[in-house]
Amino acid sequence: MQNLLKQYQPQVEKYTGLTLFPTNSYYRIYEPGNILHDHTDRAECEISVTITLGFNYVDKSDDYRWTVHIFVDDEKKCFNCDVGDAMIYKGCEIKHGRERFDVATDSYHVNVFLHYSQEQVHRYDGHGDLGIYNFCYYNRMSINDSPSMSQVAAAFGGSAPHSLSEYYGVPFSDGGSAPGSGSISLNNFRNKTKYTVTTMSGSYSATNIPYGPTFAGWTGTWRNHIFNAPLFTVPSGFVHVPGSNFELSITLNGVIPVAGNWQYMSINIFTDNGFAAGIGFTSSGSGQGENYNGSSSTYTNKVRSTTSITSGSLSAGDQVKGRLDLYNTFFSTFAVDVTIIVGIP
């Protein structure tokens, strides 16, 4: 808003023939049933500009416009403004307003207001300069106060023309979600924010695991090695919403000095609170990122991923740990990079 106030000042001065000082700017989102009562503006709004940013009239024809009116010599004059149209008027002298916004639920109308004065004392509302005062303060409806369709669309996405039905079941960052069916209203989105993607990653390296450096023989034994340091800690504020997208990706580098042409193993992650997921890394020696030379296997940036969770869910503050399960043999060198992506893309 502040940038617009400065950007349009030369044009406003051109059309009015006045030398002006910018005072304040804001935007207003109108909802069904709103009324802009007839009024004049305060002294700081000597020259007013109203710009139509956008609208959606759910139940109206394409040529319908919610009019703005002014009074000139007690005569009411109405104007239909399209998106991008601007109207300049003497806000302190000319009474102006809008009739009741009589449209269907989910409709909206958005306007930007720019104000200027010929008096330098009113410059930036007396706050010295742009950037140190928020000029977007008049009647700005946040999703915390009185949710509107346009605010829900801005926060949760979707395709225009918007309808609440497209937001059935969307997850919220607090772990809740919108109704999955039936009745849904704008109030369901009060104080809600979108559950978005969280990416967590960590790495671990070791030598001679789960034993070594001497081969113990083909004894048919599974052995494991629990990583001796957590991979990462789940960030504060994270909420794992049931049913949200999940992906675990692991990149393996290392050498098994004594290997068969088939090598059986898995890499698993877990927390002390019951979350677990894992990926099988059993290899034939000829897959992506693996090489078997007849006696040993080398893994170079071998990547595997899964979207499955074995048990539980992640919580803020959890330490994510790792474990290697390996059949018969051992890694002389071992390194993994682990990434978890959780959320709604």
| DSSP string computed for 105-154 | TT-EEEEEEEEEES-GGGGGGGTSSTTSS----TTPPPTTTS--HHHHHH
* Averaged pLDDT for residues 222-238: 89
- CA torsion, ordered 25, 130, 150, 199, to nearest 10 deg: 180
Q: Is the pTM of this model over 0.75?
A: no
Q: How many CB atoms lie within 10 A of CB 105?
A: 14
231 pLDDT tier (thresholds 50, 70, 90): very high
Q: What is the pLDDT of residues 289-303, one digit of tens each?
A: 999 998 999 999 999
179-188 contacts: CB < 8 A, separation 24 or more?
186/147, 186/148, 186/149, 186/152, 187/147
Q: Please tell me the CATH code under which domain 198-343 is placed.
A: 2.60.120
Buried b (16+ CB within 10 A) or exposed e, 132-143: eeebeeeeebeb
CA dist 43 and 116 (Å) reads: 10
Residue 141 scores a pLDDT above 50: no
CATH code matching the domain that covers 2-126, chosen among 2.60.120.1520, 3.40.50.1220, 3.10.20.30, 3.30.200.20: 2.60.120.1520
CATH 2.60.120.1520 in the chain: give the residue spans.
2-126
Residues 6+ apart with CB under 8 A from 113: 25, 26, 27, 28, 48, 49, 50, 51, 138
CA dist 187 and 222 (Å) reads: 55
137 pLDDT tier (thresholds 50, 70, 90): very low
CA dist 284 and 279 (Å) reads: 16
Buried b (16+ CB within 10 A) or exposed e, 78-88: eeebeeeeeeb
Beta strands in 161-221, from DSSP E residues, in sequence order? 198-209
CA dist 251 and 289 (Å) reads: 9
Hey, is 29 helix, strand or coil? Answer: strand
* Averaged pLDDT for residues 78-99: 92
Q: What is the pLDDT of residues 274-289, one digit of tens each?
A: 999 999 999 888 889 9
Q: Which two tokens stand for residue 319?
A: 């330490």
CA dist 19 and 249 (Å) reads: 62
